[in-house]
């Protein structure tokens, strides 16, 4: 990269909580935030009660916010936290926030009401006045920009599970071009709904078996999930011995404040970015050797020797083919001399469009605290004396891969 990009604010709302302290404490214990949902009949990772309280308070803060989807409210909470960290004043900065599924809960609510009315009357009825404006994709970024009184460009997009890191790419491009001096980037997802779960179940991506607490040998009152396949972890992300998919859905939002060049208050620096796509074989295809990941990682690493990469926060969604293709790509790029490999999806599930930013948050926390966070059910790797460079991967349906290198 011509000039490093300073991350001066980085915040999230997730199943780990809202504050940095809460999130780091959750990372340092081996308990997962994933629990079995009796209504959805599937394992999910929901926000903490304190996080939901923050959302309720925000919803009651402004009459307009009562009509907004949770994906928007999650984004607003995280964006306010990031802005407070960065010290930015309201005004001239760009906003680019994406989502894989957008206003999922509100869209399904409005459509269910419409479908019921149609079924009862067999006539095309009307929807609520705010059904359309409150469920458009641009709803998320535009409301965050409105809340923060931004006067810069306001962009929304969806590139499935690599959405948040594509927002990072866009922010970097705007800053490097000189068309903006500051950019808020991120992703938000609130898709824990029956229709979304049904789609994941149709693709056989999520675990369907539930064991009782007695079978699991754990209390149903603690934060640990009942077991699946004789493990206390529902999502066995990056466990290459698994024979079935164990992806679990989560929810949350992550936001980062980006500025060009060296800054005294920088949390870390983006020193490399990479991206690549693959030729589609089918709607959710990803090559066995992860060719898109190979190219995105090589681009992000650039002229840096691969031995200088201390760790990778993998995409590793918990699917058999997804996890395997990513490690094949990593082996190819690093010639089997691997850095530390980790992921956060075993703990908080796959948050779709927000996942890349939550992975970025973990990487920056590890750099700041000089503490590696591993995966409890995998063999511990040899840790370097100092963490300096961490690579973050994300990929969406159809092989849209992004890699971001962060350094201190």
The pLDDT score that the predictor gives to residue 22 is 93
Provide the strand spans (E) within 197-285: 249-250, 252-260, 268-277
Distance CA 67, CA 76 (A): 14
Distance CA 273, CA 201 (A): 34
Domains of the chain listed by start with CATH number: 5-102+137-407 (3.40.47.10)
The pLDDT score that the predictor gives to residue 217 is 40
The pLDDT score that the predictor gives to residue 287 is 79
Distance CA 24, CA 14 (A): 12
The pLDDT score that the predictor gives to residue 214 is 39
Measured CA to CA in angstroms, residue 130 lies from 31, 66, 133, 141 at distances of 40, 11, 6, 17
Per residue in 15-30, pLDDT tens?
999 999 999 999 999 8
7 sits in which H/E element: strand 5-13
Distance CA 16, CA 49 (A): 10
Distance CA 25, CA 47 (A): 15
Which of the 8 DSSP states describes residue 382?
P
Q: pLDDT-derived band of residue 285, with 50, 70 and 90 as boundaries?
A: low
Phi, psi for residue 28 in degrees, rounded to 5: -80, -10
Per residue in 148-167, pLDDT tens?
999 999 999 999 999 999 99
What integer is the mean pLDDT of 237-250?
Answer: 95
Per residue in 49-102, pLDDT tens?
999 999 999 999 999 999 999 999 999 999 999 999 999 987 889 999 999 999
Whether pLDDT at 210 is above 70: no
Write the DSSP string, 77-138.
HHHHHHHHHHTPPSSS-EEEEE-SS-SHHHHHHHHHHHHHHHHHHSS-----TTTTTTTSTT
Residue 93 is encoded by which pair of tokens? 């900065």
The pLDDT score that the predictor gives to residue 282 is 57
pTM to 2 decimal places: 0.92
> CB-side exposure of 359: number of CA atoms within 13 Å?
37
Per residue in 179-188, pLDDT tens?
999 999 999 9
Per residue in 130-146, pLDDT tens?
889 888 888 999 999 99
Mean pLDDT of the chain: 90
Measured CA to CA in angstroms, residue 192 lies from 12, 233, 329 at distances of 18, 19, 31
Closest of 89, 265, 110, 100 to residue 182, by C-alpha: 89
């Amino acid at each position: 990269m011509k000039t490093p990009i300073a991350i001066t604010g980085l915040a999230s709302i997730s199943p780990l909580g809202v504050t940095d302290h809460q999130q780091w404490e959750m990372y340092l214990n081996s308990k997962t935030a994933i629990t079995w949902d009796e209504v959805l009949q599937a394992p999910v990772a929901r926000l903490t009660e304190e996080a939901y309280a923050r959302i309720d308070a925000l919803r009651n803060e402004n009459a307009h916010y009562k009509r907004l989807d949770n994906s928007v409210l999650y984004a607003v909470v995280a964006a306010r936290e990031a802005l407070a960290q960065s010290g930015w004043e309201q005004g001239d900065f760009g906003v680019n926030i994406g989502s894989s599924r957008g206003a999922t809960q509100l869209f399904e609510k409005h459509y269910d009401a419409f479908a019921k009315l149609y079924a009862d009357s067999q006539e095309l009825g009307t929807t609520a006045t705010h059904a359309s404006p409150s469920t458009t994709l641009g709803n998320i970024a535009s409301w965050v920009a409105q809340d923060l009184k931004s006067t810069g460009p306001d962009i929304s997009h969806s590139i499935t599970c690599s959405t948040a890191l594509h927002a990072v790419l866009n922010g970097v491009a705007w800053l490097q071009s000189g068309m903006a001096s500051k950019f808020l980037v991120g992703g938000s997802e609130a898709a824990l709904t029956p229709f979304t779960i049904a789609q994941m179940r149709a693709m056989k991506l999520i675990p369907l078996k539930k064991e009782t607490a007695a079978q699991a040998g754990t209390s149903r009152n603690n934060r640990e999930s009942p077991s699946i396949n004789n493990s206390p972890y529902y999502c066995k992300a990056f466990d290459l011995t698994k024979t079935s998919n164990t992806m679990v859905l989560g929810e949350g939002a992550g936001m980062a404040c980006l500025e060009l060049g060296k800054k005294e208050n920088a949390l870390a620096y983006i020193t490399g970015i990479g991206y690549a796509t693959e030729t589609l074989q089918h709607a959710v295809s990803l090559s066995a050797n992860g060719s898109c990941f190979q190219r995105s990682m090589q681009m992000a690493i650039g002229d840096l020797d691969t031995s200088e990469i201390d760790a990778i926060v993998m995409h590793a969604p918990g699917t058999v083919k997804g996890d395997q293709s990513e490690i094949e790509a990593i082996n190819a790029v690093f010639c089997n001399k691997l850095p530390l490999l980790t992921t956060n999806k075993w703990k908080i599930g796959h948050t779709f469009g927000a996942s890349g930013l939550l992975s970025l948050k973990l990487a920056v926390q590890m750099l700041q605290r000089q503490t590696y966070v591993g995966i409890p059910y995998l063999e511990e790797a040899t840790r370097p004396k100092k963490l300096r460079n961490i690579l973050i991967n994300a990929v969406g349906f159809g092989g849209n891969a992004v890699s971001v290198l962060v350094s201190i």
